[in-house]
Chains A and B, each alone.
Chain A
Amino acid sequence: MRTPVVCAVVAVAVLIGTGTAVATSLTVTSKKLGAAQVTAPAMFPTTITIANGVGGVAGQAENGDIITFVFSQQIDETTLCSGWSNSLSTQSVQEGWAILPGSGGADDTLEVNNPASTCANGFNIGTVDLGSAGYNTGSSNIRFTSTTAALVVGPSTSTLTVTLSGIKGSGGTVSAGSPAVWTPDSSLKDRSGRTCGNNLAQSTATVQF
């Protein structure tokens, strides 16, 4: 239901030179107006970086390349890996990661494809859209079978550093792409039980590895 509101504005101009005063009016038909404070995200991914390892080829995924994920909160470590506990602020696991080729021209993705046995419910970091289809130009996954994932839980944030290792297969070299976008897993939570919802993080770099 709309309520018309009429605002009358009277402007009086005194023209000294002519000795004339003129009153003019402005009629405004108002519209609806509303405002509210909405809930700001509290648990979300803040940063992802995918760096080339020492001596590596820029733009090509290889052993030694490092992916860093940062969360805005202290995570509930058990939701990332069920075998972990919040009693420790540092954790480490060796597991399999892979670059999956994008189908139909879609971007390649990076994810855990073989979690360690200590993470019985999977390693729930989520997936990374790498911003290009050129990192895996084949039809099968490029696997990194002995990748190390190390977690550090700080006073207010959590950082996971992944170092690729044990490559099986070979990929292409990308010279121009788009930022990588990290979509956290919906089962991962902070210590207040909050998930990342639909919040995302993207890299500043447009060429990864």
Chain B
Amino acid sequence: MRRRVIVALLAVTSLAIPSLAAARGVTVTSKHTTGGFAAVSSCGSLAGIGVAWLSTANAVTSVTLSSIPAGCVGGILSITLASSSNTSLGSVAATSVTATSQTLSVSGSPTATSVAKVFVAVSGP
């Protein structure tokens, strides 16, 4: 559904000098404005993604994701590793999904035994 909206705006300039007051008209160039809403769908069931990691002196240095939905290949993936209280401990920067299994470097050197939750987000493709 499209609606035509004409935006009119008046700017009122108030006094710079106490004895004078003036209202200045503002010319408005109207545009068409369209609004809409639709549910956003996921590229697949992300909850089924498997996570394994490589620990170096009890710090997570990389994660390997498995069972990434094939429909997510070509999308952009990001990961957050968090504590049980949802404090972010480390993350994987947004990266392209190139396969259904992928190994990614982790920044932040999170202590492996402190990581209780892993959140995965994919936008696109």
Contacts and interface: CB of A to CB of B under 8 A. Distances in A.
Given A20-B27, A22-B29, A204-B57, A40 B42 contact: no
Nearest to A73: B113
B52 interface: yes
Interface in B103-117: 112-113, 115-117
Contact of B41 (A1, A7, A23, A35): A1
Tell me whether chain B's interface is mostly helix, strand or loop, or mixed. Answer: mixed
A46 B55 contact: yes
B116 A36 contact: no
B46 A5 contact: no
B29 A23 contact: yes
Interface stretch (A26-34, A94-102, A128-136, A186-194): A26-34
Interface string A36-56: 111111001111000000000
Given A5-B38, A8-B34, A21-B26, A72 B112 contact: yes
Interface residues of B, number: 57
A85 interface: no
B46 A36 contact: yes
B4 interface: no
Contacts of B35: 8
B85 interface: no
Given A32-B123, A198-B50, 17 more contacts: A8-B33, A8-B34, A10-B31, A16-B13, A19-B24, A21-B11, A21-B29, A23-B31, A27-B34, A36-B49, A40-B117, A41-B52, A46-B113, A47-B57, A198-B64, A201-B54, A204-B56
Interface of B: 7, 9, 11, 13, 24-58, 61, 64, 66, 75, 81, 112-113, 115-125
